[in-house]
Structure 1
């Protein structure tokens, strides 16, 4: 029953969150971080609790905050779990230009002036935006200089939006920005699909099955704020 309500094992299957989370990281997911989601039988993904109000949770709580790494069900196939970073919440406006993320938090201009460094604030026709708001705090976020606008890559990698995020939805992006299938391509994540947040790494190995001993036991909220040890 613990796996249903408190924690669940999760393996990082792709490189979309490099260099913060790596392929082969085995995590425990804190399932009570954003309420208690409706439990499902692992692997079969069959719900074992009625979802009476249709919001995907048996106990509701505040949803993800800006900057959180979140485990959620993929909106196009709810049996699949994804892990991405929340870059915008309901009411926020965001866009990308030349791979640079610009964010206008819904709290408005005064909030931006009070909470972000002056050098990161851009005024666009009287509306203030924060340029690349997460990179200093989470150094694993990066772009791939080899990915260029050559007609072979999706335009969303380089230019996207602007869009306003719907209430009770979250805009998710991978830390490996140019190699991530995320909200730029399939939209925002509603609360009913939010599962939890990564807790700690209980095991990790690389593509050669070599154990990454230095990652085992690491708390994600601490790890994500450190310069990454594995840069690919």
Structure 2
């Protein structure tokens, strides 16, 4: 092979390896892409929103494990988080943190109380306001244990969340929703006004 071509090929291979290592590093430790597949977070997040999730917000994990090697911070009330669904860790869910360790969460006729105080939740949507469901809209006081988080979708009448399957273990949390980098309902309906929006 021509020495010049050998040199060019070597440069391309080196660049490819560096790019792959960087991509692996970024996805493992810094950010990960996530697509909104359902309406459980309406109207805050729309079906077809594509997000970047900040994986550094809550600490650096050892690759391919849930073990945090560099603690950074803990999830707080109102954070929107992506986590491994406790019922099937192969699936990622996205919800809003409502209760943190030590909190007592209660629901009475759709209204959420944390430590006895009713939450002000301007981000919440109700699609079935006139109907009160025992399981969905009323929950006796529940104390959140250490290392666990109570999460709910903003679309309260259409969200499968901690009311039904329990709390999210700290180690299941992948990161904090950060920014919408793409949003569409289909090729003919790109939501340009949502691109670049911070998630909160």
Aligned partner of residue 171 in structure 2, secondary structure = helix
Deviations 1:120-151 (A, max 9, x none): xxxxxxxxx211x141xxx33122235624xx
- Aligned twin of 2:151: 172
Distance 1:7 1:210, change over 3 A: same
Determine the structure 1 residue equivalent to 2:174: 195
Match of 1:82, SS state, is strand
Partner of 2:110: 99
Indicate the residue corresponding to 1:37 in structure 2. Answer: 61
Partner of 1:67: 78
Instruction: List aligned pairs for 1:201-220, cutoff 5 A.
Output: 201-206=180-185, 209-220=188-199
Which of 123, 129, 134 pairs up with 1:140? 123
How has the CA–CA distance of structure 1 residues 96 and 32 changed in structure 2, closer, same or farther, with 3 Å as cutoff? Answer: same
Task: Give me the CA root mean square deviation.
Answer: 1.7
Alignment length (residue pairs): 176
Partner SS for 1:9:
strand
Gap regions ≥5 residues in structure 2:
1-23
**What does 1:216-231 correspond to in 2, within 5 Å?**
216-221=195-200
1:133-176 Cα deviation digits (max 9, x unpaired):
141xxx33122235624xxx6x3211112110001111000000
2:14 alignment partner in structure 1: none
Q: Which structure carries more relative contact order (alpha carbon 8 Å, separation 6+)?
A: 1
Q: By how many angstroms is 1:38 displaced?
A: 4.1
Q: TM-score normalized by structure 2?
A: 0.82
Answer with 1 or 2: which has the greater Rg: 2
Q: Which of 21, 33, 40 is equivalent to 1:16?
A: 40
Stretches of 4+ moved more than 6 A in 1? Answer: none
- 1:74-113 CA distances to partner (integer Å, 9 max, x unpaired)? 0011111111000010111111111111110xxxxxxxxx
SS of 2:131's equivalent?
coil
Distance 1:208 1:179 in 2: 26
Change (3 A) 1:61 1:97: same
| Cα deviation code 1:59-80 (max 9, x no counterpart) | 2233200111111110011111
